Amino acid sequence: MPPQWITVIILGSAILLLTITKLRPDLIALMVMLALGITGVVDHTLIFSGFASSAVMTILGISMISVALQQTGAANAIGRLMFKMGGKSEILLVLLVSLFSATLSLFMNNIAAVGVLLPAVMSLSRRSQTPPGRLLMPLAFGTILGGMATLLTTSNIIVSGALKDAGISSFGLLDFFPVGAPVVLVGILYLVFVGRKLLPKSTASEKASSPQALSEKLMAQYHLETGLSRLKVLNNSPLVDQSIFANNCLIPIQMRVIRVLPQKGRPQVVSPDTVLHSGDTLIVSGKMDETTLAALGLELLPAVKEELPITDAANPLAEVLLSPHSQWVGKTLCEINFRIRYGLNVLALWRQGAPIHENISNLELQTGDALLIQGGAEYIRQLEQDKDLVLLEEDPDSVIRPKKLGLALLITILTLSFAAFDVLPVALVVLAGAVLLLLTGCMSLNDAFQRIEWKAIFLIAGMWPLTIAIRDTGLAAGVTTSLLHWLGPVSPLIIAGFFLLISMLLTQFMSGPVAPIIIIPLALSAAKNFGIDPHPLALAVALGCSLAFITPLGHPVNIMVMNPGGYTFKDYARVGFPLTLLSIATILLGLHFIWGL
């Protein structure tokens, strides 16, 4: 059987299996790779080339950079900003996510833009109690739309380079903007008012996410907001210039210090190196009589209506359970020096279905007790390795390395700048940035490997040989040439529409720069034969290769959000098909009125 027909059968079978959704997409991709290798359609030396492709390496590097942005608090800050602007209004959140992603992709690689915003949008999803499936597809689609208005998108760069190689003037940085900008506007309006209604109502990822931040949930569960007081440290206090942990067994008997508010600077969580100064304000839990306050040199301040700053992303609340064979059973928190040993503050204890707030430092611990703890996220993370305590749940928005925020932002900005100006290949630049973030301690290698979207990598790598088969067997070129011959003499706008349509169709299954490489020579040849200006035809090819909305295989950013968003192939088709039709119509109108076709 001719290789072209084998390729058609494998492609058709893959589409059918992906549509049925009985098997995982990454498993289907591996089956496609094996089928092409066993049948000999793709040479065995190229069958595994997808694992070394630039798209896979870029996703690998960007996924690691995203971990650093999340662990240092950068992603959390972006999520807070969008939440402050959009609140819990889904229509505003979709608008903001689409605008942020489209704007960011004007200046950087699309994969990099999604890598930067993905952890921020996940944080926004949890803050706003909006399922991630309602926000992540607008994130991916917004990024693709924004890339259509600038030269910096891969397909646009390839097409511009092909013009230059053919002795024709290439496109400038803003030559795509007059046609691409209206597409961005139409696309975002569609996502906000129509596409939003077509998004899945609930997703698998939604079940795994907490409906609210863990700290807020625990605060309500343990009734921590009740009985809070503010105390001012007076000049004559014996606590001045002393560490709270140094008085580990004295102070907790009277009160539990939750937060320290210095006269100048940011609020501080109680930690081993927290030293009190005159004028500091303490947020405490527990009842204190006047005699105790006077002895400690503390003044009770009037109650305030606003919410007290108990936690932040770098110092969240968490819940730990005594393991069945814990050595701490029968001992008190004071006896085991819990604060000094773990660097964490115990705020309450859960026993027999109810929280206990009073005198917990002198209470003997029992099997099954749960402790409400607070402290640095890095200290809480270390409890995962402790055999005496079981960390029940970890806040996904916690900031583990807040002191590395500035360094992480600097390295990320430099990395994206090098990638945007094409100084070196994008994959090489982002991997170098990821390694630099590892070397500077902005993230750990274990955390990076745990957060990488391996499903996306196997999906792209498995489908990559199919791209090679469509190209090398001549299937794409043969079909395009035949259809072009069948068209005959028609108006230039119809020819541009033909190349736009063909480019869009090939892009759905040929993620990466392959589609423009195949189509642009045919478009330039058609322009010469029909006596048409090659620039609008080249523009149609470039923009058509960006219409990757119908399947997740059309662009790596679709695959990046597929698993966390809980999407299926049908979801992309349902939302992406109308967007594709609107984009095609907008592009053709732009080619007619701006380029005179």
Supply the CATH number for residue 244's domain.
3.30.70.1450
Question: Which pair of tokens denotes residue 246?
Answer: 């140094």
Residues 19 and 132 in one domain: yes
- Provide the 10 A C-beta neighbour count for residue 198: 16
Q: Looking at the whole model, is its pTM more than 0.75?
A: no
**Pair type for strands 228-233 and 268-269:** unpaired
What is the Cα–Cα distance from 593 to 597, expressed in whole angstroms?
Answer: 7
Residues 491 and 506 in one domain: yes
pLDDT of residue 387: 87
For the chain, how far is it from start to end, CA to CA, in angstroms?
43
Convert 215-268 into a string of H (helix), E (strand) and C (coil): HHHHHHHCCCCCCEEEEEECCCCCCCCCEHHHHCCCHHHHCEEEEEECCCCCCE
Residues 221 and 130 in one domain: no
Is residue 555 in some structural domain? yes
Residues 202 and 226 in one domain: no
Is residue 425 in some structural domain? no
Residue for token pair 């807070």: 80
Is residue 482 in some structural domain? yes
- What residues of the chain score a pLDDT lower than 50? 204-212, 252
Residues 276 and 325 in one domain: no
Output b/e per residue, 491-504; b: 16+ Cβ within 10 A.
ebbebbbbbbbbbb
What crossing angle do the helices spanning 74-86 and 405-420 adopt, rounded to 10°?
90
Residues 190 and 75 in one domain: yes
| Contact (Cβ atoms closer than 8 angstroms) between residue 148 and residue 508 | no
pLDDT of residue 34: 92
pLDDT of residue 184: 96
| Contact (Cβ atoms closer than 8 angstroms) between residue 14 and residue 32 | yes
Is residue 448 in some structural domain? no
Which structural domain, as residue segments, surrounds residue 291? 215-300
Is residue 419 in some structural domain? no
Residues 42 and 158 in one domain: yes
Residues 229 and 154 in one domain: no
Residues 485 and 586 in one domain: yes
Residues 228 and 356 in one domain: no
Domain tally for the chain?
3
Residue for token pair 């080249």: 538
Q: DSSP characters for 164-203?
A: HHTTSPPP-TTTTHHHHHHHHHHHHHHIIIIIHHHS-SS-
pLDDT of residue 514: 59
pLDDT of residue 252: 45
Residues 473 and 375 in one domain: no
pLDDT of residue 394: 66
pLDDT of residue 588: 95
Q: What is the per-residue pLDDT across 233-267, written as a single tens digit (0 to 9) for each?
A: 888 888 787 776 655 555 545 567 778 888 777 77
| Alpha helix segments (H runs only) across 40-153 | 54-72, 74-86, 90-105, 110-128, 136-147
| Contact (Cβ atoms closer than 8 angstroms) between residue 272 and residue 343 | yes
What is the Cα–Cα distance from 550 to 233, expressed in whole angstroms?
Answer: 63
Nearest in space to 339 (alpha carbons), one of 428, 267, 260, 243: 243
As to burial, measured by CB atoms within 10 angstroms (0-12 exposed, 13-18 middle, 19+ buried), residue 176 is: buried
Is residue 515 in some structural domain? yes
Computed over its alpha carbons, how large is the radius of gyration of the chain?
29
Residues 199 and 72 in one domain: yes
**Pair type for strands 268-269 and 370-374:** unpaired
What is the Cα–Cα distance from 368 to 358, expressed in whole angstroms?
Answer: 19
Is residue 83 in some structural domain? yes
Is residue 429 in some structural domain? no
